[in-house]
Amino acid sequence: MLGYLIDIDGMIDRGGRLIPGVDRFVDGLREANIPFLVLAGTGRRECHDVAARLRRLGLDVTPYHIFRRAGSAAGLRAAREELAIPADQTVVVGDSEAAILGGVRLQYRTILVLGGRTRAGDLDRHACRPDRVVPSFADLDPHGLEAEFNAARGALAAAPAAPLQPPSHRPRRRPLAATSF
């Protein structure tokens, strides 16, 4: 089963309004009993404050769904460990290159949601590629993602291994000669 780390910095709400589709996606995760954490920034707000604000916006989360992170790969790793899921079953959902890059570095699956801090034209300048790019949260279905990612993993496992390449015939470097001063 996949587990989701959802980066909210500037993504779940804009101007005090919930971004369309976020509530449906989170409700789908909860109904299917799919583990997830909402990654909040390192601000001064406590988890219960963040959860209360998101509930006021219409997102059904508890303080236990909020993970305050350091904004780094270490924070993503700690969040995954809190969910107790393996790295290859972890999905980072974010709208920034930083969130996706952190997930890629940890070998998590990644979904970039456009429309927040990243536009489609920005992708060519990114240091890494997400596993999936979607125009909005409304395009995410937890059940479909599980099947899609598992099918992709199965295809990779079933693919024949690349043949071993013959050793290079480059001449080896000569060892440095001992010198005396």
pLDDT by residue (tens digit) across 56-76? 988 899 999 999 875 678 889
108 token code pair: 């998590």
Q: Give the C-alpha separation, 12 to 24, whole Å.
A: 12
Q: Using CA atoms, how far apart are residues 131 and 13, in angstroms rounded to an integer?
A: 24
Q: Each residue of 29-43: pLDDT tens digit?
A: 999 999 999 988 766
User: How many distinct structural domains can be found in the chain?
Assistant: 1
Residue 163 lies in a domain: no
**Enclosing domain of residue 71:** 3-154
Q: Give the C-alpha separation, 20 to 26, whole Å.
A: 12
**Residue in the block written with tokens 């790295």:** 87
Q: Indicate yes or no: pTM above 0.85.
A: no
Round to whole Å and give the CA distance between 2 and 45: 28
Helix/strand number for the chain, H first, E second: 5, 8
What percent of the chain is modeled with pLDDT above 70? 71
- The pLDDT-based confidence of 16 (bands split at 50, 70, 90) is confident
162, part of any domain: no
Residue 88 lies in a domain: yes
User: Could you tell me if residue 141 is inside a domain?
Assistant: yes
